[in-house]
Chain A
Amino acid sequence: MAAVKNAPQWVRDLKPASPTGPELLEQERKSSNVNVDQLANFLFTKEAREKKRKILKLLQDDKVFDKSQNYFAGRIDRFETALARAKALQKLAVKHGLDDDEKKIAELLISEPGPYGLHEHMFLVTLRDQGSEEQREKFFKPAQAYKIIGCYAQTELGHGSNVRGLETTATWNSDDKTFTLHSPHLTASKWWIGSLGRTANHAVVMAQLVIDGKGYGPHPFVVQIRDLKTHQALEGVHVGDIGPKFGYNTMDNGYLLFNKVKIPHISMLARFSSVDAKTNKYVRPSSPSLVYGTLTWIRSTIVMQAGSVLARGVTIATRYCAVRRQFQDRDAPEWEKGENQVLNYTMVQIRLLPLLAATFALHFTGKGMQALYEANHKKMAQKTSDSNTTRGTGPEETQSSSDLLADLHATSCGLKSLASSVAAEGLEVCRRACGGHGYSSFGGIGAWYADYLPTATWEGDNYMLTQQVARYMLKSARSVLQGQEPSNDTTAVLSWYHKRQDQGAAFDILGKDEDIVSAFAWRSAYLTFEALKHREEQKRTWNSLLVDFYRLSKAHSQYMVVKNFHETIATNNNLDPETLSLLHKLFRLYALHTLETESAEFFTSAAATVRQIQLARSKAVMTLMEEIRPHAVRLVDSWDFPDWQLDSSLGRYDGKVYEDMFYRANDLNPLNRVDIDPYPDSATLFRKNESDGLKSKL
């Protein structure tokens, strides 16, 4: 923040009323002994944090990344700037040899989706993973060098979730060995495709493969869509940007239509399935399960990111609510004059502190998923290359790591759904907790929230995904009923419940951490067997059970989050005892607050008694909040967000909330540079700067 310039001296002399933000935050940091550095290293590793500092420096030194006008510009200017930044970042990456990880860090610091986003994260990956050797040479290499810039075009105007219902066709022409891409209806138009609208010159297009009048389902094709010189759309291709959105306005999500466009045989990505050009026959996919692996990995990233996405809002709101003071405490003695920090009001705490706990919960869960995935993936890859024998006689272990992966795959759907919903909704809670100033763009939460929202929809709509979890849970429950041995955590939980069902639960949720985990497991298992009963005994239709499935998936995912959180801290020895005990409190706060919100299910399943739930609400949660409150600022500090990344007046590390609000309003705000004519009887609007007529822009 620079000093205020654009104002008379008496304004520049003004200070905020005391105690000031910096004083308050200093006091906050003094009153807690959380070892911020240690906790931050535990969350991210020291190396990652150092990398972040290094890259931050690079970005801050380049003026194109300056954020000060971001909140003011219109869509077109924002997009142009985003393109300039994308180019500059790629140059930096080449110049300094940044690897993929480092580029991702840079993107997080810049914090706006850029027009190269889908090229980097979907196009390149798809070419690498689904292209044949020859195709990699032809497409992947030039794409890496940014000669080819691409996107991933699956979703259409009429279909998103139901990929099998896509309408774009790719018809095989046996005479000249080409495919014809065609959009038979308006609803076949590709839609929402990131980087497509204005940037890409190629696309991976998902289209229904048709050979000799017969459909083979959706397959990926690499298609050039724009001229490499003029950047104009090719003949028969119709492409553009879909217009402004809730967020993501620095990205050119696009539409795309084909009018009988011919593409060569090599266009169909052929690693897994292909059309034999000689025989004109379809060659079946080899192992489709590899693809599931990638999806599981992507979802685990979403879960882990959800933690830090949310942490950003929690950091801003917590710091601001520690600086913001409003009213005296109603019960305060007469002589205690000062106003109360709003973070002291339990009404504010109940919104922020459980979310603070959730940031850790999600982060640890994502980490846990990734560890499990990597371990078992390696094992499986090892085993399949070791023994080229057929399955069946294979060692027990092969079986179990694949079962574990299947488990992880199914449950990752539920966790993606839960985590991204918690993060999205949590951000809005944080914004509202900031009162009026939360509504200002300078608060820094609103735009961040708007950009995050699509995560609830893509990679599987959050409601839709829960059906996959339910399907898997029902299958697992059936196997337990058939007496099969448990082969992973889900079946273990289900069979444990099944055996204990008649003994009852009796968990000491207020006394023992392990028992909290058990109570969550119990409720999930209960809902699973209930759903199974509805489906199998009562023969209810699938559709009529969707709401039950949704609840089941949520319950099971919450169980996994609680379990991962618990395991992370139960086995930890990298943290000093005080910090660790604070994490235990956060664990309990997360778990008991969740339990209390979902109390009806805990009660109905008999995982907890009415009395326990009552005590959790009125005593345990309140006490935990009181214990965590003094450490709130240091806990958010350990998320280690540079101010440059937050770009928020309210969330500044130094607490200069009011100075920064004023500086941005007064000095950075272009509206204050125009003089207006306010009177309705005069047609003049801006007294200066009248030339750019408004009509032409409408």
Chain B
Amino acid sequence: MPDFTDRLKPAAPDGTTVLAQERGQSDVPVDELAKHLLSNDDFLGRQERMLRIVEKDPLFNKTKQFNLSRPDRFKLGLARGKKLRRYSDQYGWDAKDHEMAVYLCDDVTPYMVHYAMFITTVREQANDEQRAYWSPKIDAMEVIGCYAQTELGHGSNVRGLECQAFWDPKAKEFIIHSPTLTASKWWNGTMGRTANHAIVMAQLMLPKEGSPGEYTSRGPHTFVVQIRDMKTHKPLDGIAVGDIGPKYGYAPMDNGYMLFDRHRVPHSAMLSRYSRVDPNTSEYTKPANPAVVYGSLTYVRATIIMHARLIIARAVTIAVRYTCVRRQFQDRDSKDAKAPELCVLDYPTVQIRILPLLATAFALHYTGEAMQSLYWNTREEINQGNFGRLAVLHAQSSGLKSLCTELAANSIETCRRAMGGHGFGGPSGFIQLNNDYLSKPTVEGDNWMITQQTASFLIKRMQAAVDRKGKPQDEIEGHCRQYLDEKNGYKPSQLRVFDRDEDIVEAFRRRSRDQTYRAHVARNEQKQSWNSLLIQLRRVSHSESQSILVQNFYNALQQKDSAVSSTLHAHLRTLFRLFAFYTMDSEARDFSRAKAVSDDDLDKIPAKIQELMAQVRPHAVRLVDSWKIPDFLLDSALGRYDGKVYEDLFNRAHRLNPLNEITFNPYYKEEEIVKGSGENIDSILAKL
């Protein structure tokens, strides 16, 4: 309906003009940088191709989904899942294409765990016969599966799972059973309403020879279990399964619960690539070297980091564009009373929240890339059981997962708050991003807990360096020995972090080794309890991860053969230094204690950071443009490429908001709630 608001324009200067100016003042080569960041696996080309298809399908229109109730969100998710799968068939998409489409639509679908964990587990843990049986059914999506490991009572501690699988040698069957309420499977995606099969993690219980009725537990093992009827889609007898209800985010996903009442499955249900129970002798074969999974886990973690960088890039894209368009107050020191208001990105208190994060997106990129290429380069060795560098990287990857997902999760919220009131609104493009991404610090290993793995590994290497037997076993031990050799001779003034980039790298490494050494002394020499050290161990892990991020960023800048132009190189170097100094500043005392940087230099860092931010500021818009995040993905009035912030905010509020189609009765003495509809307090009660 046309009305007088159609004629209104935003006050000048409008967003489009502002962003054009911003882009005009910078020499960042956007396309070159985009290629530099995003050409692996034809990311950009694929993004463009998929975008063309999903963008014009109204089913993927995002603007109103935020109003829907949970059941409707799920329904929409299911519709989208089906549609994408049909597109796959129609256009012959491969798995990567499909993944890209899901990424652009930016909504999990109820099929997610089927595509991810279910397929992978069958591929990796089924023996050849099992694979041959399941794979065609899975590919055709006759079998739709989920991955049921976590229980109501146990998540992190997988060994503590309560669900049991008793071996019945007579019937040659397993009996899956949930002895308690806390044994209920919980949180398992795709299971609540969608899946008809599940990979169930259960304690393998084998009869004790000679003592009938008694069992020995062999620890958690995986079983493929049909859970719903293939026709009616009702749960099978002896299985109670459902959705666990609404969550902070992930509305379209049916995370589920599931209980078993002595439910029988055939011998073939147990996935038997690595361990098996002989159906005739009931003999148990142990898994071979569990390190086989290193490779794929490292790869998964590299993917998490590559994803985290895009999350940060997305948050920063919106924040940078909006804070350029947003103007508030005149410059206090300006003499000109008529001067236009400053754009808020010119305030250092806004810069300090956003620009270091911009640099962080790059830091994560280079480390994710390094991990991926290491994985590909060493795959041959892995297949031959030779781990070498990868074993180290694997241990470090827990810490990286923890730090990088933490950085990404926090960056969303930091950017959102930097935008003032409009950051809180649905059209900011931050709400679902926040809600969905905030599961990441917990899933795939709780971020606090898993830092223990990295720290524990590092402390062992330090112990080995102290023992000094033969040649160093790996790179880390080598560094540890070097640290021990040089330790006493350190002078903090040795490293000139403001002049030499390689000294920045060295400072981070020294500080990390110092943290490791102190933890080693506390644990191995002073014999302090593990529990009393946990907080310190997290620092050990984070120091190491920060050191890796800095190192990889630095390495990337050193690559002589790279095709990076000198203009671009200069910008990247500024970002490198901004990231490094910002990180150093927030951990300043560690560097001082490690004698890695002098107190004098540490005192100068805040000023240095401000100087670097001033250098980045004019290029901020082009730098975020280079991440090529399409408007369709951003789904943000504030972060639009064209800067039409206010027009879009108004359009969404005024024209796309279903609440405005209803006239309410506001008077408390009247029972009526919706004018003229008969909807009153009583009819609301019926819904409660």
Contact = CB atoms under 8 A, between A and B. Distances in A.
Interface residues of A, number: 156
Contacts of B78: 676, 678, 685
Nearest to A7: B240
Counting chain B residues whose Cβ lies within 8 A of the other chain, the interface size class is: 35 or more
A428 B646 contact: no
Nearest to B230: A679
Interface stretch (B123-131, B524-532, B559-567): B524-532
B65 A698 contact: yes
Interface string A645-688: 00000000000001101101110111110111111111101110
B657 A441 contact: no
Nearest to B83: A680
Given A347-B534, A665-B244, A326 B154 contact: yes
A461 to B, nearest CB: 6
Contacts of A614: 593
Contact of B442 (A432, A441, A461, A681): A432
Contacts of B65: 698
Contact of A73 (B11, B69, B259, B416): B69
Contact of B181 (A15, A674, A695): A15
A504 interface: no
B328 A201 contact: no
Contacts of A231: 663-666, 675
A81 B70 contact: no
A475 to B, nearest CB: 15
B688 A678 contact: no
B121 interface: no
A165 B610 contact: no
A563 B681 CA distance: 50
A288 interface: no
B67 A666 contact: no
B539 to A, nearest CB: 10
Contacts, number: 436
Most buried by B among A14, A159, A230, A675: A14
Contacts of B649: 157, 191, 242
Contacts of B220: none
A245 B426 contact: yes
A88 interface: yes
Interface stretch (B190-198, B291-299, B546-554): B190-198
B313 to A, nearest CB: 21
B141 A69 contact: no
B245 A665 contact: yes
B657 A331 contact: no
Interface string A182-213: 01111111011000011111000000000000
B329 A678 contact: no
Nearest to B605: A600
A439 B438 contact: yes
A617 B342 CA distance: 42
B168 to A, nearest CB: 19
Interface in B647-683: 647, 649-650, 652-654, 656-660, 662-671, 673-675, 679, 681
Contact of A197 (B67, B532, B646, B659): B659
Given A330-B530, A435-B155, A439-B439, A69 B261 contact: no
Given A347-B535, A453-B424, A658-B152, A16 B68 contact: no
Interface stretch (B348-356, B363-371, B462-470): B348-356
B438 A165 contact: no
B402 to A, nearest CB: 12
Nearest to B427: A243
A161 B328 contact: yes
Interface string B420-461: 110111111011001000110111001111000000000000
B417 A547 contact: no
B333 A435 contact: no
Interface string A40-78: 000000000000000000000001101011011111110
B489 interface: no
B527 to A, nearest CB: 10
Contacts of A161: 328-329, 420
Contacts of B417: 453, 456-457, 462
B543 interface: no
A42 B3 CA distance: 58
B491 interface: no
Nearest to A678: B194
A86 B666 CA distance: 9
A72 B68 CA distance: 10
Given A191-B421, A198-B666, A697-B67, 19 more contacts: A76-B658, A91-B668, A158-B10, A187-B10, A188-B11, A246-B425, A326-B160, A330-B531, A331-B529, A331-B530, A351-B448, A436-B443, A446-B248, A462-B417, A542-B332, A543-B346, A547-B352, A665-B244, A678-B144
20 contacts: A8-B240, A73-B69, A74-B68, A80-B674, A87-B681, A159-B328, A185-B11, A197-B659, A201-B666, A331-B529, A435-B155, A439-B247, A439-B249, A441-B248, A457-B421, A462-B417, A614-B593, A622-B532, A665-B242, A676-B78
The 9 closest A-B pairs by CB, nearest first: A74-B69, A680-B85, A186-B8, A87-B668, A347-B534, A446-B248, A14-B181, A90-B668, A330-B530
